Amino acid sequence: MTNLRISFHCVLGWLLLALATSAACAAESLVALVGSEAGLCLEATGLKRRLLAAAASPLAERLQETGLYREWLAGEDFQKLLRARDELERFTGQGNLERFLGDLFGQSIVVAVYPKGGGDAAGILLVRAADAAVLEETIAAWNQAEQASLQTFSHAGVEFVRRIPSRSPTDRDVPERDVKTQFYLRRGTLLAVSESDDLIRRTIDLSRTDDAAADPAAAASLAQTPRYLRAMDALLLDSTVTLFFNPRAWDRDASRGSEPPADAVLRAWQHCEAVAIGLQLTGGIVAETVFQFRQLDADAPWSRFVSSTRGLPEFLQRVPRQALVVWASRLDLAAGERLLTAQLPDEPRQQWERVKQLSPLLAVDVVNDLLPNLGPNWGLYVVARQAPTLLAPVDGLAAFEFDGSTPAEQRLDASLETALDRAGRIVSQQTGITLEVHSRSSGANVVRWLDGLGEYRPAYCVGGGYVVFASAPDLVEDFLTAPPESRLPHSQEFRRWSSAYFASASQLLFVNVAELHRQLAAHREWLVDAAATTSQTLAAENAGRRLERFHELFGLVDAVFVSVELAPTQVRVVTGGVVGPRPE
């Protein structure tokens, strides 16, 4: 009996795997059987087809080539999984467990959670099987594997079953009140399982849409609510799994917390109408989250703030192909400062205003002179050095669009030069190292830097429509003058990923994993020596093995990104690891 229970738990494990690798398809949706009062609804359909596609995906192919995967195949955990599969096949009488699970879960799966108040919630699992006979066999096997007392009830002429599991000898210490009562409904290819008989009855009511005598209010389905429809329509990707969250259903629980939420958090919660999440597994692993908010006045500060953030930042057009990490933004920093200041309580706002009054005493008046002239495009990136050292493994650059006039550029250049000179003199006095400010022309611009610090030479330039800061003057010149074909957006793969996932994003964090992978390979010996040098316990051989493992993991995807798209009524966040074609 214990083995049979373990087997049934394995079936549940397969189900959870199915939820992570199935797809949402409106034509097969079971959401019509979920009540409008549900607070959370997860939907996954087309499992059979999606499992085959996921197994043949580039990410799966790369994973199967890793040493970690080969070790898992040769390990005891995989052998236990095979033995569990064989046991389940013998117990169910099915010669092919994968095909059996596909027939059982391959159509559609929905998990819905209903808040009950007081922090409690009730859930229900809905399954649409491909074959009614397989579903009936599964229920029979379940009841045989875990002996239970069964009693039939009826609601609106439809029968369902109350199931109370029998306590085994190993469960004698479990109080009878802790034995979970289950209810299930089987109707054709539909299976509904819950610990709440009310939810089973709710499902029966929702399935009687063709009954004219049915109460329309009682039969209100989540799939018919405008909130759910808007949230699902907002998901742009062809999602494998979708999740809908309704904040309004949880208002009573949110207000009864042990600690009341902060005002800003409470306002955000109250304005949020719905959250929709989609998971895609075709070109990698990509998750899309959409937060939807109440419609605001077009002249509201937030609406004005987000009006200038549509589309990818122009800063990306100057990022080199070999950049390892990129952050690009279209947020108007001056407008953002005003918006955030207006949201601060009185005392912190007054403190910030006093700080702004002190800004003119600095060499560069950041708040009153620099910030108002900055445009909405800015960002930073990190590149690997051709000859990395422990003290200088990478170089970095940050640039801000500057919309000021020529006199304003000249004043800012003079202020930054003064600040750089002062910093050099302070460091020289403290360390005795001689530091000097140098400059050279780069086209119509002048690049200035501080020399004498060793491997890094902090540099800046005001020109070309940007204020640029970098760890070396060469990076500043490349940012301003390098040809378009050397830039990241000129890459065919980046253009494809941008079009598919973040074409309208106003914020983008992009990690060039493929370039990082190449750098690990190019500097392997240096990295091993550096790791062994800096660690007293790590030998070069062990460092090499660890580096190989990192190198292998970095080869699974070609890029990782997080993008944010702002709009007056919603915020879209897309995160993922994506794969490009293998080099010829």
pLDDT digits (tens, 9 = 90+) for 477-503: 999 999 999 999 999 999 999 999 999
The predicted pLDDT at position 376 comes to 87
The predicted pLDDT at position 222 comes to 94
| Alpha carbons 346 and 311: distance in angstroms, whole number | 35
| Alpha carbons 487 and 314: distance in angstroms, whole number | 12
* Highest averaged pLDDT of the listed ranges 55-69, 211-225, 451-465: 451-465
Categorize the per-residue pLDDT at 168 as very low, low, confident or very high, splitting at 50, 70 and 90.
low
Q: What is the SS3 assignment for 29?
A: coil
Q: 404 is written with which tokens?
A: 């000021």
The predicted pLDDT at position 501 comes to 93
| Alpha carbons 44 and 116: distance in angstroms, whole number | 25
Closest residue by Cα to residue 231 from 272, 202, 266, 287: 272
CA distances to 43, 207, 238, 413, 583 from 26, in Å? 10, 17, 11, 58, 37
The more confident residue out of 16 and 106 is 106
The predicted pLDDT at position 499 comes to 92
DSSP state for residue 471 in the 8-state scheme: S
Average pLDDT over residues 316-336: 90
The predicted pLDDT at position 386 comes to 85
Long-range contacts of residues 153-162, Cβ cutoff 8 Å, at least 24 apart: 153/197, 155/200, 155/201, 155/204, 156/201, 156/204, 156/205, 156/208, 156/211, 156/214, 158/185, 158/187, 158/204, 158/207, 159/185, 160/184, 160/185, 160/192, 160/197, 160/200, 160/201, 160/204, 161/185, 162/197
DSSP state for residue 157 in the 8-state scheme: T
The number of helix segments (H) and strand segments (E) in the chain equals: 20, 20
Cα atoms found within 13 Å of the Cα of residue 63, Cβ hemisphere only: 12
Q: Give the lowest-confidence range in 145-149, 323-327, 375-379, 384-388.
A: 145-149
The predicted pLDDT at position 63 comes to 82
Q: 74 is written with which tokens?
A: 């040769």
Kindly report the number of other CB atoms within 10 A of residue 465's CB atom: 15
* Residue at 422: amino acid letter: R
Residue 438 CB partners (closer than 8 Å, separation 6+): 448, 449, 450, 451
Q: What are phi and psi of 68, to 5 degrees?
A: -60, -45
| 237 conformational bin, left if phi > 0, alpha if psi -120 to 50, beta if neither | beta
Q: Where are the domains of the chain?
A: 2-52+73-225, 295-406+457-578
In contact, 504 and 430? CB cutoff 8 Å: no
In contact, 45 and 28? CB cutoff 8 Å: yes
Q: 450 is written with which tokens?
A: 């501080």
Closest residue by Cα to residue 560 from 311, 326, 384, 319: 326
Average pLDDT over residues 460-470: 92
The more confident residue out of 23 and 482 is 482
Q: Give the lowest-confidence range in 95-104, 149-158, 479-488.
A: 95-104
Closest residue by Cα to residue 243 from 41, 386, 404, 393: 41
The predicted pLDDT at position 173 comes to 53
The predicted pLDDT at position 175 comes to 52
The predicted pLDDT at position 12 comes to 39
The predicted pLDDT at position 20 comes to 37
The more confident residue out of 469 and 301 is 469
The predicted pLDDT at position 22 comes to 38
| Buried residues in 325-346 as b, exposed as e (16+ CB within 10 A) | bbbbbbbbbbbeeeeeeeeeee
The more confident residue out of 581 and 210 is 581
Average pLDDT over residues 71-97: 71
Categorize the per-residue pLDDT at 212 as very low, low, confident or very high, splitting at 50, 70 and 90.
very low
Categorize the per-residue pLDDT at 13 as very low, low, confident or very high, splitting at 50, 70 and 90.
very low
Q: Give the lowest-confidence range in 321-330, 480-489, 544-553.
A: 544-553
Closest residue by Cα to residue 531 from 517, 508, 516, 547: 547
Query: Percentage of the chain with pLDDT > 90?
Result: 35
* Highest averaged pLDDT of the listed ranges 16-25, 227-236, 262-271: 227-236
Place of tokens 């190989």: 548
Query: How far does CA 483 lie from the centroid of its chain?
Result: 33
Q: 433 is written with which tokens?
A: 């190292």
Q: 477 is written with which tokens?
A: 């010149």
Closest residue by Cα to residue 444 from 399, 409, 416, 475: 409
The predicted pLDDT at position 197 comes to 93
Q: What pLDDT digit, counting tens, does each position of 402-459 carry? A: 887 788 888 888 888 888 888 888 888 888 888 888 999 888 889 999 998 888 999 9
Strands 284-293 vs 570-578: parallel, antiparallel or unpaired = antiparallel
The predicted pLDDT at position 93 comes to 61
Q: What are phi and psi of 85, to 5 degrees?
A: -65, -45
The more confident residue out of 56 and 535 is 56
| Alpha carbons 204 and 198: distance in angstroms, whole number | 10
The predicted pLDDT at position 26 comes to 36
Cα atoms found within 13 Å of the Cα of residue 402, Cβ hemisphere only: 24
Kindly report the number of other CB atoms within 10 A of residue 154's CB atom: 9
Q: 168 is written with which tokens?
A: 């085994």
| Mean pLDDT of all residues belonging to the chain | 80
Categorize the per-residue pLDDT at 270 as very low, low, confident or very high, splitting at 50, 70 and 90.
confident
Q: What are phi and psi of 184, to 5 degrees?
A: -140, 150
Place of tokens 């990129």: 326
The predicted pLDDT at position 486 comes to 94
* Residue at 386: amino acid letter: Q
The predicted pLDDT at position 273 comes to 92
In contact, 330 and 308? CB cutoff 8 Å: yes
Q: What is the SS3 assignment for 68?
A: helix
Helix 540-554 to helix 524-534 angle, to the nearest 10 degrees? Answer: 130
Closest residue by Cα to residue 367 from 397, 398, 336, 345: 336
Average pLDDT over residues 131-151: 81
Query: How far does CA 224 lie from the centroid of its chain?
Result: 28
The predicted pLDDT at position 24 comes to 34
| Alpha carbons 14 and 17: distance in angstroms, whole number | 5
The more confident residue out of 289 and 135 is 289
The predicted pLDDT at position 215 comes to 57
